[in-house]
Chains A and B, each alone.
Chain A
Amino acid sequence: MRGLSKKKRVLTGKHFMLGNYAVVEGALAAGCDFFAGYPITPANEISERMAARMPAVGGKFLQGEDELCSIYALTGASLAGAKAMTATASAGFNYMQEGIGYAVAAEIPLVIVDVQRCRGENYATQSDVMQMRWAASGDYEMIVLAPSSVQELFDHTIKAFNLAERYRTPVIVMSETTIALMRENLVIPDEKDIEVINRTKPTVPSQEFVPFRADRDATPPLPDFGEGYRILHSLNPHDEWGGISWDPDVFEKMYDRIIGKIARHRDDIVETDGVFLDDAQIVLIAYGSESRPALDAVYQARGNGIKAGLLKLITVWPVPEKEIRAVAEQASVILAVEMNIGKYAGEIERASGGCCDVIRVTKNRGEIHTPDEIYAAIKGVRR
């Protein structure tokens, strides 16, 4: 970490950087000023760099006594006005679900980076893809971004902060051992060219402010602790004033809005990328690092006259329903490429509505697919 204590917040320029470090630089570029984490491989480089970078830019670094401490310290700091992030790996991500559920219900912006690993070991995997969405108890929508490179780890971390602030909700960056521990080129733009969104603050004095009042697809403004608004933030069902209520109407209305503020903005949130989709008959759908061998396989197929294409999911949650449906209506077959037992494939099948076959191309042995393996699956379809 030599020299880092004197560096400024945004390290504009070209770098050859570790994926985990790119996450840190993305967070700083987005305005992160609070980090808490608990040691866990393969996410440690994020904490280590944060420990050097945070104090240098006037932020705070906390090594919590466990993941629960980390996630709740984030919620406290965020309500005090911080832009807060934690990083962990699958086993640690388990422990954080309680705090994520709280942040959803209390509408607290924060960013969680989960560098996925296999149970107990640091094998490459995408096996937490459903846990990202469904692990916390209760009803909620979750925003999850899936970077596939060091550059995207930087870019998507900024995006995650912007979405968290915009929608007052936790946002997850779904990293993987493959990209987290890889070094690649990274270009950090000028500070003025980086879009940074901050939460909206109340525009009326405290006597007139109703803290949880908003339309059913909207996000209410969020003042910081100590600004005189005196707001109760509870997990329990609460009315527009924040008061805990046992009225079923209050319960229903609260969750309708908390879910609606994301679900009804699905089109603003969802991002995908497409390659050769215009005329593709065989479409690969992949996310995260698996989109890289998938792209190679598509090029191989095109080189051999096979009309293959790739739909790369940048947002895995909410599900890019329309984009998947559009592909399903055009293609003869979808290959759902994943580094697990085939989990997200169920979502793809659902979103494609039976318009075409969905074939699962899975690999669950701690290794990323090779392009040849995926190309073989494409050729297998043609036979």
Chain B
Amino acid sequence: MNKNPLIKYLREGSLPHFFCPGCGAAQVLNYFLQAADAVGLNFDKLVAIGGVGCTARIPVYLHADALHGVHGRTLPWATGIKLHNPDLHVVIFAGDGDAAAIGGNHLIQAARRNLDVTMIVVNNLNYAMTGGQVAPTTPEKLRTMTTPFGNAEPRFDLCKLVLAAGATFVSRWSTYRSGQGIQALKKALQHEGFALVEFVAQCPTNFGRRAFGSGDPVKGVQWIEERSVTIEEAKTLSEEALADRFVLGDFVDYKRPVFDGTSIMAQGRE
């Protein structure tokens, strides 16, 4: 039997992976490998970072230098690495809890600084590894383990947040739109500066069953797709109509100086 050609990028002996059948994070691992292969990413110079959570496990499977195991601190790690050795390519895999909640301030500051990293957020709309609790990204009114009668909180839009903070490449797709998603990852990997790609992802085990009554991965993908609109389509819709939609597309792609430390040398004066 022919082996998947991308398997060479995975750490020997690390399979089988621990993702549930139909998990969106595992798809994003696949998309990342396709994009990395296409752009010829040098895995000797790659540092893959995951915090804590399902998505955070992705780096554990990559055959590269990797950091794993602390919730929300992926960007501080990356900041230290990039300041000391800018030649390394840092790719962060974060869930929505890691990025939007516990690591939220780090996200804002890294975008503001234009830290030269690729940040891939798998937004599965809940805290999946811990059993399906509500997240800052969970749409309103939906049921989770900690919102048994519905979510009372408005949801967070991560792309809007980092755009406002100064990120220089921002893109959002869903696991369903794999072609566009892989294209966005390729752009992000080649981007110099803070690049964030968000994937709205199905979580059959811990989100789908409670939010809309189905643990079927296909139904989960359909549920997201029914609520997805492109940036162009979104322009024709009211704020109200967009409230429960996922707006997909490349939001921004430009260049400005990347972060190299807080203190610069005084030029010609002291």
Q: Which residues in A have some Cβ–Cβ distance to B below 8 Å?
A: 1-6, 33-34, 36, 51-52, 54-56, 60-66, 68-82, 84, 98-99, 102, 105-106, 224-226, 228-236, 241, 243-244
List, in ascending order, chain A residues with CB within 8 A of B75's CB: 69
Are A226 and B47 touching (Cβ within 8 A)? yes
Are B81 and A76 touching (Cβ within 8 A)? yes
Given contacts A55-B263, A235-B69, A236-B69, contact A68 B80 (CB under 8 A): no
CB < 8 Å: which of B68, B80, B85 contacts A234?
B68
CB<8 Å pairs between A and B, sample of 8: A36-B79, A54-B263, A65-B106, A73-B76, A80-B80, A225-B85, A226-B47, A243-B11
Are A69 and B67 touching (Cβ within 8 A)? no
CA distance A76 to B73 in the complex (A): 10
- Cβ distance B241 to chain A, nearest Cβ, rounded Å: 36
List, in ascending order, chain B residues with CB within 8 A of A234's CB: 60, 66-69
Given contacts A73-B77, A75-B77, A226-B44, contact A3 B270 (CB under 8 A): yes
Residues 57 to 78 of chain B near chain A (Cβ within 8 Å): 59-60, 63-70, 73, 75-78
Are A77 and B83 touching (Cβ within 8 A)? yes
List, in ascending order, chain B residues with CB within 8 A of A73's CB: 76-77, 79-80, 83
- Cβ distance B21 to chain A, nearest Cβ, rounded Å: 20
Given contacts A79-B67, A230-B43, A233-B66, contact A64 B76 (CB under 8 A): yes
Are A51 and B45 touching (Cβ within 8 A)? no
Are B65 and A77 touching (Cβ within 8 A)? no
Are A72 and B263 touching (Cβ within 8 A)? no
Contact digits for B252-270, partner A, Cβ 8 Å, 1 yes 0 no: 0000000011111110001
Is residue B240 within 8 Å, beta carbon to beta carbon, of the partner chain? no
Are A232 and B11 touching (Cβ within 8 A)? yes
Are A65 and B105 touching (Cβ within 8 A)? yes
List, in ascending order, chain A residues with CB within 8 A of B222's CB: none
- Cβ distance B103 to chain A, nearest Cβ, rounded Å: 9
Are B73 and A99 touching (Cβ within 8 A)? yes
Are B43 and A5 touching (Cβ within 8 A)? no
Q: Pick the 4 closest A-B CB pairs, nearest first.
A: A76-B80, A235-B69, A72-B76, A77-B80
Is residue B234 within 8 Å, beta carbon to beta carbon, of the partner chain? no
Given contacts A61-B262, A226-B85, contact A232 B68 (CB under 8 A): yes
Are A82 and B263 touching (Cβ within 8 A)? no
List, in ascending order, chain A residues with CB within 8 A of B67's CB: 75-76, 79, 106, 233-234
List, in ascending order, chain A residues with CB within 8 A of B87's CB: 226
Given contacts A62-B262, A232-B11, contact A82 B69 (CB under 8 A): no
List, in ascending order, chain A residues with CB within 8 A of B13's CB: 241, 243
- Cβ distance B147 to chain A, nearest Cβ, rounded Å: 27
CA distance A236 to B64 in the complex (A): 18
CB < 8 Å: which of B60, B73, B84, B270 contacts A81?
B84
Are A62 and B66 touching (Cβ within 8 A)? no
- Cβ distance A184 to chain B, nearest Cβ, rounded Å: 26
Are B76 and A225 touching (Cβ within 8 A)? no
List, in ascending order, chain A residues with CB within 8 A of B146's CB: none
CA distance A225 to B75 in the complex (A): 16
Is residue B183 within 8 Å, beta carbon to beta carbon, of the partner chain? no
Are B265 and A56 touching (Cβ within 8 A)? yes
Are A62 and B88 touching (Cβ within 8 A)? no
Are B84 and A226 touching (Cβ within 8 A)? no
Q: B103: nearest residue on chain A (CB-CB)? A: A68
Is residue B109 within 8 Å, beta carbon to beta carbon, of the partner chain? yes
CA distance A311 to B203 in the complex (A): 61
CA distance A232 to B46 in the complex (A): 12
List, in ascending order, chain B residues with CB within 8 A of A82's CB: 80, 84
CB < 8 Å: which of A54, A62, A69, A232 contacts B60?
A232
Given contacts A3-B270, A60-B83, A61-B261, contact A69 B76 (CB under 8 A): yes
Is residue B14 within 8 Å, beta carbon to beta carbon, of the partner chain? yes
CA distance A193 to B69 in the complex (A): 40
List, in ascending order, chain A residues with CB within 8 A of B80's CB: 34, 36, 62, 72-78, 80, 82, 84
List, in ascending order, chain B residues with CB within 8 A of A71's CB: 76
Given contacts A61-B263, A63-B262, A69-B106, contact A231 B65 (CB under 8 A): yes
CB < 8 Å: which of B63, B81, B105 contacts A79?
B81
Are B79 and A62 touching (Cβ within 8 A)? yes
CB < 8 Å: which of A61, A70, A84, A102 contacts B69?
A102
List, in ascending order, chain A residues with CB within 8 A of B11's CB: 230, 232, 243
CA distance A69 to B265 in the complex (A): 23
Are A80 and B270 touching (Cβ within 8 A)? no
CA distance A56 to B266 in the complex (A): 10
Are A226 and B76 touching (Cβ within 8 A)? no
CB < 8 Å: which of A6, A56, A69, A236 contacts B109?
A69
